[in-house]
Amino acid sequence: MAEAFLTEFARLLRRLYRTEAASGERQISERSFIDGYMSAGLHLRLVTGPNLSELIEKERARHSRISSRDRRQGSLSFSEPERDFSEYDRPTWERKGE
How much is the pLDDT for 41?
94
Q: End-to-end alpha-carbon separation of the chain, Å?
A: 78
Residue ranges for the chain with pLDDT beneath 70: 65-81, 98
pLDDT at 7: 95
CA distances from 79 to 53, 58, 73, 76, 91 (A): 30, 28, 14, 10, 29
Cα–Cα distance for residue pair 56/6, rounded to 1 Å: 10
Domain boundaries, the chain: 2-66
Pairwise CA distance, residues 75 & 77, whole Å: 6
pTM summary value: 0.63
Phi and psi at residue 6, in whole multiples of 5°?
-65, -35
pLDDT for 80 equals 57
